[in-house]
Amino acid sequence: MNTPAVALAALTLTAALAAAAQAAPQQGFATDVDYLRASRCRGIAEGVGADGAAISAYLKQQSLGRASYILDRGQDERDRAKRQAKGYAKPQLEAELASACAAYGAPASAVATHPAADRKG
């Protein structure tokens, strides 16, 4: 038996499982914690003026069958993050939006996009 080949196969399998586990929040029914994190991300996106349509779609899908107290807590998280994004913590929250919130469909850049900005003239 070729030991390096077995080790390489095991390492490849481990990497594939780790990648699948990281992508898990977008598939199936998310945990309450993931729902609350995504709600925070939506508030950050709204607060910094970034496109939060993908996060909103994720939350809409994940709200189905969710307990009402979790939905209420999600709204609280969204409101709190939105307030924080308008304050002194904006640079840190823009970084959070581009990194941790990417799993929920956040834009890679927190730069505000507006359709009128694309027009010339």
- Whole-model pTM: value is 0.67
User: What pLDDT is stored for residue 119 in this prediction?
Assistant: 40
**What's the rounded Cα separation, in Å, for the pair 78 and 85?**
11
Q: Which tens digits make up the pLDDT trace of 82-103?
A: 999 888 888 899 999 999 999 9
Q: Centre a 10 Å sphere on the Cβ of residue 111 and count the other Cβ atoms it contains.
A: 13
Q: What is the pLDDT of residue 74?
A: 97
14-49 residue pLDDT tens: 444 444 444 444 458 899 999 999 999 999 999 999
pLDDT tens for 62-83 read 999 999 999 999 999 999 999 9
